[in-house]
Chains A and B, each alone.
Chain A
Amino acid sequence: MAAARTFRVLPGFNLTLGYTLGYMSLLILIPLAAVFLKTTELTWGEFIDVVTAPQVVATYKLSFGASLLAAAINAVFGLMLAWALVRYSFPGKKIVDALVDLPFALPTAVAGIALTALYAKNGWLGQYLEPIGIKVAFTPLGVLVALVFIGLPFVVRTVQPILEDLDTELEEAATCLGAQRWQTFRHVILPILLPALMTGFALAFARAVGEYGSVIFIAGNLPYVSEITPLMIITKLEQYDYRGATAIASVMLLFSFTLLLIINGLQAWTAKRTGRDR
């Protein structure tokens, strides 16, 4: 009797799984392992010195702070945009819906120079903002604007399908039980959306922390002021400080792994809460 373990009706298991694992190891896992191996060339003390240098710490503050704020902005406005797209009809809706994905499709460098052009002193928006004392381009505020741009689709696209699946009967039941519209939203709809909303928030946050292309044009990249962590890695590389660059990269990678696990948990929660198989 052949062992049950090796029995498969459909063909190709060994081939496809083997290829998947091989390809992934070669291209993704082994190169990523290089980061941690390279980091071990530093002593623990040197490593701490590199990753806690004041200039580096300043970049963490900006990268994480601006990313959190951008994700929060996207959570609020992204939810409204998703709500408008699902619940209201208005002219041009199809175009708006399609363009929401623009940040996925538009190369980040293009987004970067476009935003800079908008917010520069003589730009469409900059010319009105600078006179009233709001400087966006070449300041931390510019970093925030770029991060809002690239994180925009995440919340909309995670919340939208959940909103579409909502049964109208749920809200009708709440209304029959005497709830005001706002109470219905607060106590019935929002709890259902919450896991998806948090997933979208986390995705936007994760994307923003690692973002490079759209930020560097508008940031001005002043040390201690508007320098982001990925740029710090590039700067170290340009100075041939491979160990320093790698040390910071390993901090970012650890952060990515953690966030990835959190996002996975959130997605499982969304699936459980809404019964969607995703």
Chain B
Amino acid sequence: MSIHVRNIRKQFGSFTALDNVSLDFPTGELVALLGPSGCGKTTLLRIIAGLEQADSGQVLLDDEDASGTHVRERQVGFVFQHYALFRHMTVFDNVAFGMRMKPRRQRPPEARIREKVHALLNLVQLDWLADRFPSQLSGGQRQRIALARALAVEPRVLLLDEPFGALDAKVRKELRRWLRNLHDELHITSIFVTHDQEEALEVADRVVLMDRGRVEQIGTPEAVYDHPATPFVATFLGSVNLFHGRVEDGQLHLGEHALALGSASGDVSGDGKAVAFVRPHEFDLVPGWRTGDGLPATIVRVVSVGPSAQIELSRLDGERIEVTIARDTFHPLGLGEGDQVSLRPRRIRVFQDDTRAA
């Protein structure tokens, strides 16, 4: 089922949770709503589910206005952040709940319910836990039971609120893959909310970046990572080095130094104050200070573990810069702590209106 969100606004008192948000979620995609806490992503998810009502705007489910449809009739599957499993019911009863609540005429016979619950528990690979109570499960198991319970009512769309938020790092990673695989199997339109960029980039078909109630950018994980549309997106996704300066004659001026903007993307046409972003892995290191060729800096610290070396440098004005280089490239240079180098960015993203930069 496709979901379209049109001009949604939502206020909580004087706080604007959603400010004129319009989005399209095509059928069968797995989309991540990504943003810092308080950006409105959970509110948007709850509005789509029908658990919250927008002050104005529309939610279209399969091109049909759902505003008048009660959450009960929307046929959405919702997985709550803390799972909201019914603690007095067994895993089996939790999953069967939705089917058992149907009006008598639509309710499947108990044998059919039993069959279906076991099929779902098999799907989430937890059939052996059917008789346990939620309190006897681990966080990851609860998460999967919550998902099975949501799927039991054959939802047209699956909504997940911070599905991995309450789990520890290792389980989180496993479940991420598992959710992706499950989605590839079921192809049910799914939206999940997260504040963890790694999670969004790894799992989702598309990522919606939100900040302060507004949509900042929509795109595939590669697109939003490589081509951030706003300073917010550039700083929020991955680690990044920030340069505040001025753009003049196709060059970025940083104090006494200037960087050529040949390889830059963004607003490089006009002149004026600007902020530039360079990711740590987008630098080349050249030993020695060379005026007019890159940015002079001093190596402060080198952590050379694993496939790449993390290098912390200090610019002449004391600002810190992070650089990541493949170890095999770094070692032949013979550089160490205290050495002077020049930094050559391979890619620069420039935003001239830096008022919104983090």
Contact = CB atoms under 8 A, between A and B. Distances in A.
A4 B67 CA distance: 11
B55 interface: yes
A92 B67 CA distance: 62
Interface residues of A, number: 5
Interface in A1-37: 1-2, 4, 7, 9
A2 B56 CA distance: 9
Classify chain B's interface size. Answer: 10 to 19
Given A1-B56, A4-B55, A9 B50 contact: yes
Given A2-B67, A2-B68, A9 B51 contact: yes
Contacts of A9: 50-52, 71
A204 B71 CA distance: 48
Contacts of B67: 1-2
Contacts of B27: none
A218 B53 CA distance: 62
A9 B51 CA distance: 6
Contacts of A7: 53
A7 B51 CA distance: 9
A142 to B, nearest CB: 50
Interface string B37-53: 00000000000001111
Contacts of A1: 56, 67
Interface in B48-66: 50-56
A2 B58 CA distance: 11
Nearest to B72: A9
Contacts of A2: 53, 67-68
Of B53, B55, B68, most A-chain CB atoms within 10 Å:
B53
Nearest to A6: B53
A1 B55 CA distance: 9
A227 to B, nearest CB: 53
A62 B52 CA distance: 57
Contacts of B56: 1
A2 B57 CA distance: 11
Nearest to B65: A1
Nearest to B51: A9
Interface string B226-256: 0000000000000000000000000000000
Nearest to B58: A1
Contacts of B51: 9
A57 to B, nearest CB: 50
Contacts of A4: 53-55
Contacts of B68: 2
A4 B52 CA distance: 9
5 contacts: A1-B56, A2-B53, A7-B53, A9-B50, A9-B71
Given A1-B56, A2-B53, 11 more contacts: A1-B67, A2-B67, A2-B68, A4-B53, A4-B54, A4-B55, A7-B53, A9-B50, A9-B51, A9-B52, A9-B71
Interface of B: 50-56, 67-68, 71
The 8 closest A-B CB pairs, nearest first, are A7-B53, A4-B53, A9-B51, A4-B55, A9-B71, A1-B67, A1-B56, A2-B67
